[in-house]
Amino acid sequence: MFRSIPPRARRRVPAALALALCAYAALLRLEPIAARYGPFDHPAWLRAVTTHVAPLATHVRPASFQWARVPNPYAGGDPISYLRFAREMKSFYQAHVREPMFLALTRAWLWLTADQDVGISFASASASVAAVFATYLLGATAFSPPIGLFAALAFAIDWAVIDWSNGGWRDDLFACVVTFSAWAFVRVRRDPRARNAALLGVLLAAASLTRITALSFAIPALLWSIVDASRPERRARARAAAIAAVIAALLVAPYLVNCARAFGDPFIAIDVHTDYYLTAEGGPPGQSVGALTYIADKIRHRPVAAADTAVVGLFVRPLADKWSGLDFWIRGASVTLFWCAIAGLVLFAGSPNGRLLLVILFASLVPYAFTWNVGDGGAWRFTMHAYPLLLVAAGYAVRQAIRGIAALRDRASLNARLPAPLPIAVAMVVVVLVSVAAVRLPYFATREALAAGEETTIVAGPRDDVFFVDGWLDPHTDGAVTSRVAAGTTATLRLPVPVVRNYTLTLRVDPIGPDVPRSLGIVVNGRAVDQRRLSFDPNRVGAYDVFIPSTLIRRGSNTLQLVGDGTVASSAAGPRYAWIAPPRQIGFRFWYVRLHPA
């Protein structure tokens, strides 16, 4: 069918398909704007598209996509502030606690929507649509047009991306400019001419003026583009990196200089947010410090806890909390693409473009890595910019698998298609080390806190295997509580104790029902400590304080056994335990144990 198309026109087909995807993405993002914030009676174009165009989305998306009207739009978060700041904006490079790119985009859409608040929804949604095309360009330029189309399609239709896109957050714009920047980096690596370097500099400035934290990936990626080059290419790459850096610096400097003059801090846009995180951690409000100081203090005072937080923030959460929005379209897509992305990231190590994308991806996550567990710092939107790169990685893994299968019949072809083995081996070692760290670091972080005399809590959840050693079913979330259920009368926890002293344990535990079990025995290192009668409240997990004398404690790993006086079949335990196979006998439900050093 395509043979009749001239070669030049044929090369434009993927780009045309990408533009069609953008139109489709725009329709999917228009519908929730109309449903959540409409109806609109002016201006005429807004009334027309929300009344006549938005309803068309019902024919081209799953029925499970449902959007309810928002009673108090944009309140309770940054968007209401963005609206005020955009209306007050006097110049692009004004000194301000918010970088200017999203404010300027919002101001433009406010003008187009006759100064209605919904303009900010169009600002974030239009950036989300542009990110679809950026994702295509990145995948197509770095590897192949089919990979670009695959990644762009996934980003266009993902429910979570669509859900966030109309809320008036700047994260959509940041995802857009980061992806465009990654594309420009690949272009410069392939062709380090001045015009490509200049484009990269402009895009890096756009990213930095959307979030100044973009410097966390811009600087390492510029350096990497020089380091990961052959000797003949290094001079040209260095010249291109210098051009990009100078242009980016010239475009960003006026904003930094104005902030330095007005606030005494050129990086006020980052540093001002440390007040939120310090307050969320229990400190008094109004005590902002420099962002670098904030992170350095964490590393200096609790190095193991900081390492644990960083490992999860860099390698676990950005991958684990994506993909689920695609399950609305294909059941099981999230699990499949999750593992494809991991495989793709490993395979990236064998490709020059892939290594560059790895640097951009993980360097861009560094600001998030140390704050994801504080307050709202772990919100999905903060790693939205990583999603296009992860989708490209998933598409790359699929393509490499298809190529490998096709080449199996021809050994010479297979050898020619194999990527560099050493970098991939190194990447696999890194994956193993990160996996081990993700499992073991919670144990040592708990030990570190106890050594400092701080209370610490061992909670049932995704990374609790190092503590819940025997007699437990897998973690299960019921409402706001993730708990473990004892698979019998006795279950064992491991407690990391660095200092022998008296401890008080606060146990949050429930019987399965009003009568089973009636009591719970507490055994530490094989010696009985206490026997507590359990109370049953279907709306609240019970709390029991138990004193553990130092004579029962040993330095290092200690065992805490919980022994119930009976079990009940899960089929008779009620709807809360319907997820457990009916023949199973279960003892009690456990939420957490808090250790209080004397």
The alpha carbons of the chain give a radius of gyration, in whole angstroms, of: 27
> What is the rounded distance in angstroms from the CA atom of residue 482 to the CA atom of residue 491?
17
Residues 166, 178: Cα–Cα separation, whole Å: 19
- What pLDDT shows up at residue 598? 81
How much is the pTM?
0.91
Q: What per-residue confidence (pLDDT) applies to 277?
A: 84
- In terms of C-beta density within 10 A (0-12 exposed, 13-18 middle, 19 or more buried), how is residue 336 classed? middle
Residue matched to tokens 């994506």: 322
Helix (H, G, I), strand (E, B) or coil at 459: strand
Q: Are residues 577 and 499 in contact, defined by beta-carbon separation less than 8 angstroms? A: no
Residue 178 Cα to chain centre, angstroms: 15
Distance CA 518, CA 308 (A): 38
C-alpha to C-alpha distance for 80 and 72, rounded to whole angstroms: 10
Q: Is there a contact between 583 and 534 (Cβ–Cβ < 8 Å)?
A: no
Question: Hey, is 493 helix, strand or coil?
Answer: strand
Q: Within 13 A of 177's CA, how many CA atoms are on the CB side?
A: 27
Each of the 598 residues of the chain gets a pLDDT tens digit; together they read 445 666 766 678 999 999 999 999 999 999 999 999 999 999 999 999 999 999 999 999 999 999 999 999 998 889 999 999 999 999 999 999 999 999 999 999 999 999 999 999 999 999 999 999 999 999 999 999 999 999 999 999 999 999 999 999 999 999 999 999 999 999 999 999 999 999 999 999 999 999 999 999 999 999 999 999 888 889 999 999 999 999 999 999 999 999 999 999 999 999 888 888 888 777 777 677 888 888 998 899 999 999 999 999 999 999 999 999 999 999 999 999 999 999 999 999 999 999 999 999 999 999 999 999 888 888 999 999 999 999 999 999 999 988 877 766 665 555 555 566 788 888 889 889 989 999 999 999 999 999 999 999 999 998 999 999 999 999 999 888 999 999 999 999 999 999 999 999 999 999 998 888 899 999 999 999 999 999 988 888 999 999 999 999 999 999 999 999 999 999 888 888 999 998 899 999 999 999 999 8
Superfamily of domain covering 456-597 = Galactose-binding domain-like (2.60.120.260)
Phi, psi of 583 (to 5 degrees): -70, -15
Q: Which two tokens stand for residue 89?
A: 């904006």
Output phi, psi for 484, to 5 deg. Answer: -115, 145
pLDDT in the model for residue 550: 94
Residue 297 to residues 286, 336, 446, 579: CA-CA distances in angstroms? 18, 39, 18, 43
304 close to 444: Cβ distance less than 8 angstroms: yes
The token pair at 399 is 């393509």
Instruction: Give me the pLDDT at residue 517, please.
Output: 87
What's the pLDDT at 274? 85
Q: How many CB atoms lie within 10 A of CB 92?
A: 13
Domain regions of the chain by residue span = 2-289, 456-597
Which pLDDT score is estimated for 427?
A: 86
459, β-bridge pairs: 592
